[in-house]
Structure 1
Amino acid sequence: MGLLALGTPLPWNEAKRYADHVRYHGITQFLHTWNRLKERQGDELLWGDEIEYMVVVLEDAAKSARLSLRQTEILDKLSRIVDNISSECPKSISVPTFHPEYGRYMLESTPGSPYTGSIPDILSVEANMRYRRNLARKHLKSNEVPLTLTSFPLLGIPGQFTEPYYDPVGAISSHSLFLPQEITNPHARFPTLTANIRQRRGSKVAINLPLFVDAKTPQPFVDPAIPWERDIYPEDSDAKNGAALADHIYLDAMGFGMGCCCLQLTFQACNIDEARRMYDALIPISPILLALTAASPVWRGYLADVDCRWNVIAGSVDDRTDEERGLKPLRNSRFRIPKSRYDSVSLYISNDWKNRPDYNDIYTPYDEAIFNRLKDNGVDSLLAKHISHLFIRDPLVVFTETIDQDDKSSTDHFENIQSTNWQTIRFKPPPANSPIGWRVEFRSMEVQMTDFENAAFAVFVVLLTRAILSFHLNFYIPISKVDENMARAQLRGASALGKFYFRKNVHTQGNSGPSSGSASPVNGNGSHPVKEKKLRNCFPAPPHPENGINHEPVESEYEEMSMKEIMTGKGTNFPGLLGLVSEYLDTLDIPTDELRKINAYLDFIRLRSTGQLQTPASWIRDFVRSHPDYKQDSVVSQAINYDLLVAVDEIERGVRSAPSLLPKKYRGGHADQGSIGI
C-alpha cells in the first residue's frame, strides 16, 4: 500500500506546506522517466498478483472469531524464515514475499518472482497462491487462520472483535467511535495517513451503507450500537447532527475501507503505447468484475443492502474539503473535485484512434500549470491531462528525511501522489533504477474465499488482456456510463439481477475479428501470427482505416446487458468476454491437458456469470439468513460470525462442500501442488 519509507512523518499543518514542492518535483521525476523510457520497446509479458488475507482467531469453546493483531510478529517470523524455506519450495514456485497492510490483522502476499506468459506459468498460479496461504498458516498459532475475506463482518461492533481487546476511546488518528487506534499498522505512515486525511478534510470520514431490511428489522432503524453519550472529540456530535443516517450502517474511520482485502493484478506491457491501450480497455471491465467477485455484504455486524466494498473504501480515504465536495463555494480550495481519491477512473488515455473524445465525457479537473509543463516537455495532451488530474491532490504523508531528493534517481515524490490515487485501474510508469517496464494494475476485484476462485479470475484477466491486444478489441463506452456501472455493480444481487452498459460491437473497424470467420487475430501488417504455446508479448497498434472512419453516434455503440450476456455473448456480433478469451486460446498451440485445466477456470467463471453459482456475497447473505440463530432482524451475531468464518476456512481447505458457490468437483486446499483445485 504505497511507499513504506522510514522517517519522521509531518502532521498535516506542516506537511501541507510542502505540497507544491512535492508536486513540482514529482512532475520533474516523471519527466525524467518519460524522456528516458518513452521509446522503450520489447518488454515481455510479466505479471503478478497481490492477495490480502486477514488473520482470524477462532475460539471454539466461546464460538467467537476475532481479528488477530499480531501482524508485526507474524511478518517478522515469515521474513526470518525466507532463507530456510527456499529448499522447501516446489521447483515451480519462487519463494513468496509477504508485506504489511493497513490493518494490523492483515497480510499481503505476492509471488516471489513475476509470472511469464507461458501456459505452464499461468497454470502455476493456483498452486502458488495455495503455497503462500499454507506457508502463512504454518507460522500462525494453532487457532489462527489466514482467510481471504473481503471484509470482517464484526469489525467495529460494541465489545471485543480483536485479539487482544482495545477500547476505541483514544483513537487519536481517526477519532472513530468504533475502531481502536491499535487496529492500524503501527508503521508511521499509516496513523499519519489516517490523521492527515481527517485533518485535511476538516472532519472525520462518514460512510452510510443502506441496511438490508429483513422481516423483523426495526423501522426506522436507528443504530443502537452508536455510543451517543461519547463526547471526547469534536466529531463525536457528528452522528447526532446527521452523519449517521436512519436505515443505514454508519462507518466513521479509514480502517473500515483500508481494512478490506482484495485481489489485484499488475501486467507489464511491451511499451508505453500498449500499456495505455490495455489501461483504457480494462476501464469498462472493472465494474463488471467488481460485480462478479462481490464478496462483502456484512458491515459492523449488520447485513447491508450492498454486496461490495468499493464505496466504503472510497469514503474511508475521502480527504476532500467541503469546498472540494461542492458543499461550499470555492475560496480556500483550488478545485471542485467530483470523486474521492479512491474511486473509478476519470479519463481514457490512449492515443489509439479508437479513443474518441466523446468517451471522456465527465468533468475532470486538472492542474493547468502542470498540464502545460508536461506539454512543453513533449508529453501528449491525453497523458498530460491524466497526470495533471492526479496531481490536483495533495501529498498526504511527507517525511522530513525525503523532502529533498535527486529527481534523476528517485521517483518517490511522483509516487507519493500517484500511489495515493487509488483508482480501479492504475497506469504505472517504470520505477527508478529498475528493469521493470510500463505497467497496468487492475484493482477493482474483491478477494475470493478460495485460492481456486482467485486463480480463476487472475487467469481470466491475463488471458483477456491478451485477447484485447491481439484482436484490437474496442471496449470504449463513455466514462459516465462506466461510473454508472460502478454504482450498479455494488447493489445487492447485481451479478445475477443487474444490467450494465457495454459496447455492442467490440471489434475494431477495418478488422472483422475472429468472430466473423477468422480463427486467429490479424496483425497490423495483415498477417496471422504463428501459433505458439506461450502468450505473445507484443501486439502492434491497430491500423487506422485508410478510408477514414464513419462514426456512429456514441449512444448507439452501447446498450444495457446482463452479466450473462456480457460474459457469454449476445447476438451475432458479440461473443462475450469468455468467448473472446476462448477464441484467443484457439490461436495458441496448447496441449489438451493444459487446455482442459484452463477451461476449468473459465467454466467456473461462466457458471458464476450465468447465476448457476453464487457470488460470495450472495452465499454469505444466504448463510446468515439461514442460520438458526438469525432473528430476521439484519443482525449478525458472534455465533453466526463464528460459524460463517469456520465454514469459509473449511470450504477453502476442501473439507466442507459448497455446491451453490463452487463447482461440484472442487477439492480445495488438499489439491496437489501444480494442479487446479477441482
Structure 2
Amino acid sequence: MGLLSQGSPLNWAETKKYADHVRKHGILQFLNIYNKVKDRQKDVLKWGDEVEYMLVELDDKHEKVHLVLNGKEVLETLQEKGEKINPNHPTLWRPEYGSYMIEGTPGQPYGGTMSEFNTVEDNMGKRRREASSVLNENETLCTITSFPRLGCPGFTKPEFKPTPVEKGVSKSLFFPDEAINRHPRFSTLTRNIRHRRGEKVAINVPIFKDKNTPSPFVEVFPEDDGEAARAALPDHIYMDAMGFGMGNCCLQVTFQACSISEARYLYDQLATFCPIVMALSAASPFYRGYVSDIDCRWGVISASVDDRTREERGLEPLKNNKFRIHKSRYDSIDSYLSCCGEKYNDIELTKDEEIYKQLLDAGIDNLLAQHIAHLFIRDPLSLFEEKIHLDDENESDHFENIQSTNWQTMRFKPPPPNSDIGWRVEFRPMEVQLTDFENSAYVVFIVLLTRVILSYKLDFLIPLSKVDDNMKVAQKRNAVQEGMFYFRKDIFKGCNLVFDSASTAAQNGVECDGDGEEYTLMSIDTIINGKEGVFQGLIPILNCYLDNIEVDVDTRCTILNYLKLIKRRASGELMTMAKWMREFVAKHPHYKQDSIITNKINYDLLRKCDRIAKGQEGCPELIGDPVNRGK
C-alpha cells in the first residue's frame, strides 16, 4: 500500500500548504538517487509477488458472512511469530487499506534461476497456513478480489454503522470508518481525498440487467443529504467511499531489472499486457450486494481515489487549480519510458512544465523527465508533521509520497537511497485468484513472459491510446471470451535495444520499425494460444523458450501445469473467477433473477470458495482436474 510513515498526520488544509515543499524536495530526492545509481549495471534478476487477503467469518448458525475487523491484531501476531524473531523468515506480512485485510509476500525475493518457479505455490501455501493458524474459530482467510456484500448493512464483525452525517473520514452512506485500517495513513488518505475533491468520491458501476431487475434501476438513499442523489446514475450501483476500491484485493508482481534502461524497456512492454492479463484474471463481478455488468475492479478503484476537483475534471473553468487532469491518480499509464515507446506516446500528457525543465536541465532525458513531471502534477495526500523536513541526500519520503499515490497499471521504481536494491518495475492490474495454484500460475506466467521479452528482445508496443482502449474492453463482462483487443502482429520486428546505461547516448542502439499496420484486433484466445495467419500466441512462444533452456523435470512440469491453466482460461475451456461466481449465483435456489445477492447466497458462495481454496472440494470448471494441480 505504498509509503507507511509513522507520526502525526496533517489535515488537508495543512497538507496543502506543504504541497509545493513536498514536490520540490521530492524532485531533489529523485535526482540524488538517479545521479548515484543511473549507471548501475548487472543487478541480478530478482522478483516477488504480493497477495492480498480478506479475513472472513463464516457464521454457520445464521448463514451469514462477515468481514472481520481484526487485521491489526492478526498482522502483529504474524510479525511477532515471524520476521521479528527470524529476519530470514519465509514470509512477510504488511497492512492493507481495510481493517479486514492483510498482505503477504515471500520473506526474500526470488532469484533468477528457473527452479525458483517450483517454490512459488509452496510459499503461498505457507502464507495461507501461517495466517489461518492465528485466526479464531469460524474465521478463514479468503483471496477474493471483491467481497460481494461490501457496504451492505451488517457486513462487518463487529458490526458498525456508517456515519454519513457525523464527524468522520469517509462520511459514507454504506462503509463505516471502522472498516478502514487504523494506521493513520489510511484514514488521512480517505479524508484528504474527499476534502481535496470538494465532495465525496462517486463510483457508478453498471448493474447487470436480469429478468426481474427493475428498469430503470434507481436507488433511494434515506440518509442522503442530496449528494448521492446528484452523483448516483440510473441503472448503476452507486458507491461513495475509498473503501469500495482500496478495500478490494489484488495480486501484484515486482521485478528488479539489470539496469535502468532494461527496467524502462520492461515497463513499456508489460504495460501492453495489463489489460490482457486483467481480463484473463477477472474476478470481481459483485458490488454492494448487487450483480454488476463488469468483471474487474479497475474502474471502481480508480473512482474510489479520484481526488480531482471539478476544475481538474473539466467540469468548470480552471481558476483555483493549475491543470486539467484527464485521469484519476489510479489508472493506466500515460507515457512509455523507453525510446522504443516514444513514437507510440499518442495520448495527451499533462505535466508540470517547471519540473520538466528542471529535470531536463539536470541531465534527465525527455522521456523519463516527462514521466516524473506528470506524476508530480498531483498533490501529496498524506503528510506527517514529523516528516516535513528531511535529508534529501539520504531520504526519499517526499518522492515516495507522490510516487506511491500515483497508482498506475505499471510502476517504475527507483532504488531506495543507500540500498543494494536495483531499478524495479511493478505489474499491478491482476485480480487475486481463489487458490494458491491459480495465483502461482498467473505470477509464473508474467515472470516467464519477462524472461522471454528480455531474451528474445520482443516488442509488443502499440500506440498508448490503443492500450487505453483495451483497458476499457478488459473490464466488461466476459471480456476474456467476447472482447477484442489491439495487439501487435509482428513482435520480432521492432526495437533493438542496448541495455548499457541511463545516458541518452545509450539509447542510440534503438531502431523502431513502423509500417502503419503493426497491430490488429485479436481475441485473448488468439493472443495467448495463437491463431494461424494472425499471431503465433504467447504460450507457444513460452514453450519454445522452455525447449531452448535447461530446466529440470520437476520445474518444467510445474511451469507447464501453470501455463495449461492460463491456456484453458484464455480458450474458454475453464471459467474466469468472475464467470464462475456469476454462474454460481444464477443457479442458486434463492436467487430471484433480480441482480440481488442476499446474505444466504453470499454465505453459500463464500463457504464454497473457502472449501475450494483449502483443497477440500474440487472445482474442475474453474481450475481443471484437481489431480493435476500443483507439482
Aligned-partner residue type, residue 425 of structure 2: V
Matched AA of 2:187: P
1:677 counterpart letter in structure 2: G
Range 279-288 or range 593-602, more displaced: 593-602
| 2:270 is the alignment partner of 1:285 | no
| Aligned residue number for residue 160 of structure 1 | 154
1:443 lines up with 2:396 in the alignment: no
Q: How does 1:22-37 map to 2 (within 5 A)?
A: 22-37=22-37
Match of 2:173 in 1: 177
Q: Contact 1:171 / 1:179 at 8 angstroms: preserved in 2?
A: no
Displacement of 1:219: 1.3
Worse-matched range after superposition: 588-597 or 423-432: 588-597
- The answer for the alignment partner of 2:605 in structure 1 is 644
Q: 1:323 to 1:510 in 2, by over 3 A?
A: closer
How far off is 1:572 after superposition?
4.7
1:401 corresponds to 2:401:
no
CA distance in 2, matches of 1:502, 1:325: 30
Q: Deviations over 1:643-670 (max 9, x none)?
A: 0001111111111121110111357xxx
Q: Give the drift of 1:227.
A: 2.8
**1:117 matched residue in structure 2:** 112
Query: 1:86, 1:95 within 8 Å by CA — same for their partners in 2?
Result: no
Report the counterpart of residue 273 of structure 1 in structure 2. Answer: 261
**What displacement does 1:142 show?**
1.7
Task: Give the letter aligned to residue 444 of structure 1.
Answer: P
The residue that corresponds to 1:188 in the other structure is: 184
Find the counterpart in structure 1 of residue 398 from structure 2.
413
Whether the aligned pair in 2 keeps the contact of 1:222 and 1:247 (CA below 8 Å) is yes
Matches within 5 A, 1:41-120: 41-82=41-82, 94-120=89-115
Pick from 605, 624, 647: which aligns with 2:566? 605
Once the two structures are TM-superposed, the CA of residue 131 in structure 1 deviates from its matched residue by 0.6
Q: Does the aligned pair in 1 maintain the 2:55–2:141 contact within 8 Å?
A: yes
Instruction: Output the CA distance in 1 between the equivalents of 2:86 and 2:234.
Output: 54
1:360 paired residue number: 345
Structure 2 gap ranges (5+): 500-505
> Aligned partners of 1:666 and 1:187: how far apart in 2?
43
Give, in angstroms, the shift of residue 76 of structure 1. 1.5
Whether contact under 8 Å (1:279, 1:425) holds in the other structure is: yes
Whole-Å separation in 2 of the counterparts to 1:632 and 1:186: 39
Structure 1: distance between partners of 2:342 and 2:301: 31
What does 1:421-436 align with in structure 2 at a 5 Å threshold? 421-436=406-421
Kindly report which structure 2 residues correspond to 1:221-260, keeping only aligned pairs within 5 A, or say none: 221-223=217-219, 226-228=220-222, 230=223, 236-241=225-230, 243-260=231-248
Alpha-carbon distance between aligned partners in 1 of 2:86 and 2:72, rounded to the nearest angstrom? 22
Q: Which amino acid aligns with 1:492?
A: R
The Cα of 1:121 is off from its aligned counterpart by 1.3
CA contact (8 A) 1:65 1:645 kept: yes
Mapping for residues 314-393 of structure 1, pairs under 5 Å = 314-351=302-339, 354-357=340-343, 359-393=344-378
**CA distance 1:83–1:436, change in 2 (3 Å):** closer
Once residues 584 and 376 of structure 1 are traced to their aligned partners in structure 2, the CA distance between those partners, rounded to angstroms, is 43
Measure, in 2, the Cα distance between the counterparts of 1:370 and 1:286. 28
Name stretches of at least 5 consecutive residues in structure 1 with no aligned partner: 88-92, 512-522, 526-540, 668-675
When structure 1 is superposed on structure 2, of 431-440 and 573-582 the one drifting more is 573-582
SS at match of 1:348: coil
Tell me the distance in 2 between the aligned counterparts of 1:562 and 1:152.
29
Give the alignment's Cα RMSD to 1 decimal: 1.9
Change beyond 3 A, Cα 1:167–1:510: closer
Partner SS, residue 521 of structure 2: strand
In structure 2, the partner of 1:584 is 545
Q: Cα gap change, 1:510/1:297 in structure 2, threshold over 3 Å: closer, same or farther?
A: closer
Give the TM-score, by structure 1 length: 0.89
Q: Partner of 1:270: helix, strand, or coil?
A: coil
Aligned partner of 2:515 among 528, 548, 552: 552
TM (normalized to structure 2)? 0.96
Counterpart CA distance in 1 for 2:173 and 2:262 is 47
Name the structure 1 match of 2:502: none
1:182, 1:345 → 2: CA distance? 32
- Per the TM alignment, residue 591 of structure 1 is displaced from its structure 2 partner at its CA by 2.2
**Structure 2 equivalent of residue 220 of structure 1:** 216
Structure 1 distance, partners of 2:495, 2:158, is: 63
> How far apart in 2 are the matches of 1:508 and 1:403?
49
Task: State the 1:586 CA deviation.
Answer: 2.1
Question: SS of the counterpart of 2:229?
Answer: coil
**Offset at 1:217?**
0.9
Q: 1:296 to 1:509 in 2, by over 3 A?
A: closer
**Taking every aligned residue pair, what percent have the same amino acid on both sides?**
53
Opposite residue 305 of structure 2, the aligned amino acid is: V
The one-letter code sitting in structure 2 at the alignment partner of 1:384 is A
**Shift, 1:570, TM fit:** 2.8
**Rounded Cα–Cα distance in structure 2 between residues aligned with 1:573 and 1:350:** 27
Q: Look up the match of 2:463.
A: 478
How many equivalent residue pairs? 623
Secondary structure (helix, strand or coil) at the match of 2:132 reads helix
Does the 8 A contact of 1:267 with 1:439 survive in 2?
A: yes
Change (3 A) 1:356 1:240: closer
Against the structure 1 CA distance between its residues 570 and 542, is the aligned structure 2 distance closer, same or farther, given a 3 Å change threshold?
farther
Aligned CA distance change for structure 1 residues 178 and 12 (closer, same or farther; 3 Å): same
Cα deviation digits, residues 349-390 of structure 1 (max 9, x gap): 113xx3342x11111100011011111111000000000000
Q: CA deviation at 1:524?
A: 7.1
